[in-house]
Amino acid sequence: MFDFMPTPWAFFTDVILIFSLCFSLVRGSLSMVRDEKAESLEKACLYHGAALRWLIVLNQCTNQSERIWVSRRRSLCLEKAKRRREKWILIRDRFYRRNTNS
């Protein structure tokens, strides 16, 4: 039925990262960093560009809690980029197989 099944933990790693970020912010142990350019890239689903921008922001962080928050946000972007790429590879493979069989 399905040629490609996503890994069962792909969704949960995203949820765990978001939960850990939110829990740390509520607890007050991490300070949230804002970068308009990185956030706009994320909103446009350009996750590799956003991850690169978060890396630049990471170099400018002054304390450890900011570095932890930015690195988690960057890893979330990289995870989303990986899943997006896997989805497009699946679509490409299905399209290619459908057009070559006829």
Instruction: Indicate whether 21 belongs to any domain.
Output: yes
Predicted confidence (pLDDT) per residue in 3-34, tens digit: 444 555 555 566 666 666 666 655 555 668 88
Share of the chain above pLDDT 90, in %: 44
Burial class (CB in 10 A: 0-12, 13-18, 19+), 86: middle
Domain interval for residue 69: 10-26+34-100
Domain count, the chain: 1
Region 67-83 average pLDDT: 93
Q: Is residue 49 part of a domain?
A: yes
Instruction: Tell me if 81 sits within 8 A of 51, measured CB to CB.
Output: yes
